[in-house]
Chains A and B, each alone.
Chain A
Amino acid sequence: MKYDVILSGVGGQGVLSVSAIIASGAMAEGLNVKQSEVHGMSQRGGAVYTNLRLSDKTIYSDLIPVGGASLILSMEPLECLRYLDYLNPEGQLLTSSNPELNIDDYPDLGTLLGKIRSLRHAQVIDARKLALEAGSGRAANMVLAGAASKYLPLNAETMEDYIRKIFQHKGDKIVEINLKAFHLGRRSQ
């Protein structure tokens, strides 16, 4: 079994936190994991992505080959397209519908979302809306983690354990909000 994921978004959106939850969950279930991250210059509001590789065999390359990803999980709709080349034609694309408008030449949002929805195996989620429903707009990345959990070769409970672990020091309320966001994402269609 191998399962490669590209996580994408804009610096500051919590791409690394989601990546860490999936990676930790996979390790807890005994899988081999490699997680290649982006640090430094591009983190400043630029396009960021991580390569996350899960397998029950040895993983050599830190980077996913073209067409190798089973899932693209994106915190931002324009960013989900930037790495589409890496998605297997049978792979799943999951993205938030909420744009980060920090550039001048952002395409028309309606057209963009239309193009994404017309792709095979694409799911577009209003992550901010579900996050607000859970109690905080900042939990949008956990909504996406929840949506991804339907496809990942992991038990949702393992991921929930890590959400508890990561947010524990911020208090019970924050843990509850993030778990609720995760569940709303998991149930989203």
Chain B
Amino acid sequence: MPEMVLLGDEAVAMGALHAGISAAYAYPGTPSTEITEFLIQNSKKNNGPTAHWCANEKTAYEAALGVSFAGRRSIVSMKHVGLNVAADPFMNSAIVSIHGGLVLVVADDPGMHSSQNEQDSRYFADFARIVCLEPTNQQEAYEMTREAFSISEKFQIPVMIRLVTRLAHSRAVVQLSDAQPENKLGKAPEPNSWILLPSNARNQWHGLLNTQKEMQDLSEKSPFNPLKLNPGFKEFGVITTGLAKNYYLENLPDLAEQPSHLHISYYPFPAEKIRELATNVDKILILEEGYPFVERFLRGILPGGMEIIGKESGDVPPEGELNPDNIRPVLGLPSHRGSKQPDIQISNRPPQLCAGCPHADSFNALKMALAGYEKSMVTSDIGCYTLAALPPYSAIETTVNMGASIGMAKGASDAGYFPVVAVIGDSTFLHSGVNPLIDAVAYNTNMTLLILDNETTGMTGGQPTILPSSRLEQVVLGIGINPEHVHLINAHRKFDEENSKILKTEIEYKGISVIIAVRECVETAKRHKRKGGQA
């Protein structure tokens, strides 16, 4: 059997290719980006299947739905908070009768390595009443992705693959199996199943609820939910989900007895197997990577006398990632000893804007423009420029979600604050900044929007922005802003003085104004230069 060294993300991508996908869609987001990067490279090399970046996660999801409606298989991937953006198509896609297999990959980020929260996507799968598979290593990522397409077509539902950062970004050898061909093109046979008028939607919802039992039965039988009983040891049994299994097995040789163990990687989880485990032990320890998702259900499933220890009881850390060390106390094991730190202060080294970054110059000009005001407000967004929250810049005051800078600036201005400036990057603007700008234009809100156009999606590694930079101005003008209050400036320090004057004038203008600060990201510029001056 052929084998390849793959990141968890890439293993998912290979699984999708070998499951015969016809298309893949995504918006870049750590830690999910490498899935689609891999598929785009593959598409270039092998002339297909289609792999596209999209304007945002919602449009990506909708494109995948179209592929399914046409009878073919598709994969759509995103980071956990991306699913908030795609929640509308996601929730409703559970109600239609999926035709070509549709697999949604969501990469969660417990520990918030590169995210604003650590929400657990398993709740979304449960909310939509669909199947979720959760691999614990690269091999499973490959196999479960393939299996997910079969389950999707069997139950006519989208299937979620839940990854976490440590799997998405860890590399190991994966054994591959034979690829299967693409599905034949052909519309969904029952057209009413895709028209969610209330009368149809009620039928569809009824059908989905009726399928729950089959999904549950599969869970009880699934090899993805292995139960190993040790009748000789009753003191406690262990349930693991996700990567917690790896950390548990890492520590298992240190335990005097081998507890009964149920691992769950297929959801809806196997209630019968949990009950079976419970009848064999006096206490259950539950280790989950993410929220105490299964644990909270367990407290309703098991008889009142059964002791359950986990995150809810305070015995397992409720925030951040699990690791091989922080589960040792609850297993009754002593902490490991490492080398001793010498007596010297180890200064923090936070990430920072690169030397020569155009954003740094734009923030400089903005600070100069705001210097004359006693108070001011700068709302901002998600991207490399979020790093301007840190010294020496300390230039932005909010970072909440993709596109929020513009809507929040409108609200603050409506509330009476002046001056208010929203700062957003080009890619984030196209992702979800256009709609709130329409709101601000509709009411000619007294605010200034500064779009930092570095011609790329920088933080995730320099993917191309969905529209070429040269079209941003036309997008803004197309909404109907007075062209006198739209300016293109060169984001370079030699124009700081000039740029700050333009900013100041537009801040003073009593209405919506947009300034687009343009200069290519230094990282992508270096890459383009190495490639021999390609644009």
Contact = CB atoms under 8 A, between A and B. Distances in A.
Given A46-B350, A61-B246, A111 B173 contact: no
A117 to B, nearest CB: 10
A81 B351 contact: no
Given A41-B113, A46-B352, A102-B349, A85 B342 contact: no
B167 A62 contact: yes
Nearest to B343: A115
Interface stretch (B65-73, B331-339, B407-415, B416-424): B331-339
Contacts of A40: 30-31, 113-114, 459-460
12 contacts: A33-B5, A34-B170, A44-B352, A45-B352, A45-B354, A61-B243, A66-B337, A78-B349, A81-B346, A85-B339, A102-B352, A115-B344
Given A36-B166, A40-B31, A84 B340 contact: yes
A111 B344 contact: yes
B353 A39 contact: no
Given A42-B351, A84-B338, A24 B5 contact: yes
B169 A38 contact: yes
B349 A36 contact: no
Interface residues of B, number: 49
A38 B113 contact: yes
Most buried by A among B337, B338, B350: B338
Contacts of B46: none
Given A36-B170, A62-B170, A65-B336, A105 B347 contact: yes
Contact of B336 (A67, A79, A103): A67
Interface string A58-88: 0111111111100000000011011011111
A120 to B, nearest CB: 8
Given A39-B30, A39-B169, A65-B325, A81 B341 contact: yes
A23 interface: yes
B252 to A, nearest CB: 9
List 4 A-B pairs, minimum CB-CB distance, nearest first: A40-B30, A40-B114, A46-B351, A67-B338
A35 interface: yes
B459 A41 contact: yes
A27 interface: yes
A82 to B, nearest CB: 6
Interface string B449-488: 0000000000111000000000000000000000000000
A136 to B, nearest CB: 15
B interface secondary structure, majority: loop
A113 to B, nearest CB: 10
Contacts of B340: 84, 89
A91 interface: yes
A153 interface: no
Contact of B246 (A27, A62, A68, A107): A62
Contacts of A91: 339
A60 B248 CA distance: 9
B172 interface: yes
B498 interface: no
Contacts of A46: 349-352
Contact of A60 (B171, B247, B336): B247
Interface string A86-128: 1111010100000000110111000110011011100000000
A14 to B, nearest CB: 15
Given A61-B324, A65-B324, A103 B347 contact: yes
